[in-house]
Amino acid sequence: MEPEGVVDVLRRLLAALVTGGTVVDLTMAPPDEVVEVEGEIVGHLDGSLFFPRALAAGAGLDELAAEGLLELVREDPVTVIVRYPTGNDLVEDIADRTYTCMPIELAELLETVTTECLLYSDCVVRTFTKL
């Protein structure tokens, strides 16, 4: 969702929710995602364009909470692992993303890796109640 106008979209969607209902928001969180090969960290992705957008969109829920429409009831961090058969698979997958980049040095290294590569992504699950 584009950060601009996110509050308006949230208002419409929250109208579908019963009073006392629940909102669960799963989103990716800083720091940058970590790449691991054979148990060693070999680099990080560049989320410098992605995270400001994600945080701005997520702030829409905070804005509605500040207005008294929602109440934050819990926040749970979670780290998710994505497994790629080879380094090249990981490079190709990240190339499809719009706002997250892979540093060229890391891409060149991963293109030589023929074993499994792991990508660690930190996420946050926030739970709100509609007041």
Partner 1 sequence: MSRVLDAEGAHLATILRAADFANKRVLEVGCGEGRLTRGIAPLAAAVLAFDPSCEDIARARANFPEELREKVRFEAARADEIEVDPQSVDLVFFSWSL
CB of 89 to partner 1, least distance (A): 5
Taking the least distance from each CB to partner 1, the nearer of 9 and 49 is 9
Running DSSP on this structure, what letter comes out for residue 101?
Answer: B
Read off the DSSP letter of residue 103. Answer: -
58 binds partner 1 (CB under 8 A): yes
Q: According to the binding rule CB under 8 A, does residue 18 interact with partner 1?
A: yes
DSSP 3-state of 46: strand
Distance CA 58, CA 78 (A): 16
Q: How far apart are CA 129 and CA 27, in angstroms?
A: 17
> Does 93 interact with partner 1 (rule: CB under 8 A)?
yes
Q: Which residues bind partner 1 (CB under 8 A)?
A: 1, 5-6, 8-9, 12-19, 21-28, 54, 57-58, 60-61, 74, 76, 78-85, 89-90, 92-93, 123, 125-127
